[in-house]
């Protein structure tokens, strides 16, 4: 469905990473790479994609690592604003929801 939307929707399409990976930094990074590979196989440009990641410490770190690779992310399910504000201030995350 994301591939279909990405072809017709102007701007970016958000793809949510499985919340069960919320406490697994490397698991989140691997999953995003898997999703990017699937999108690539369907000839969808990564420029139009945004990956939605849980805002646990591990998710924030995964977002930081992915953003360093040029993969756009945004965080969701923020339960403790101070936890997020302290870490995200230096991690160059595309967005916070």
DSSP state of 43: T
73 — phi, psi (to 5°)?
-135, 160
User: Catalytic residue among 31, 37, 52, 87, which?
Assistant: 52
Residue 38: which residues within 8 A CB-CB, separation 6 or more? 3
Helix (H, G, I), strand (E, B) or coil at 54: strand
87 carries an active-site annotation: no
Would you please indicate which residues are annotated as catalytic (active-site) residues?
52
């Amino acid at each position: 469905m994301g591939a279909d939307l990405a072809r017709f929707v102007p701007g970016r399409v958000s793809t949510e990473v499985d919340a069960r990976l919320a406490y697994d930094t490397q698991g989140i990074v691997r999953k995003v790479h898997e999703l990017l590979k699937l999108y690539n196989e369907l000839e969808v440009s990564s420029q139009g994609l945004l990956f939605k990641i849980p805002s646990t410490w591990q998710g924030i770190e995964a977002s930081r690592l992915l953003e360093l690779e040029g993969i756009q992310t945004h965080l969701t399910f923020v339960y403790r604003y101070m936890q997020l504000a302290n870490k995200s201030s230096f991690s160059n995350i595309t967005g916070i929801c």
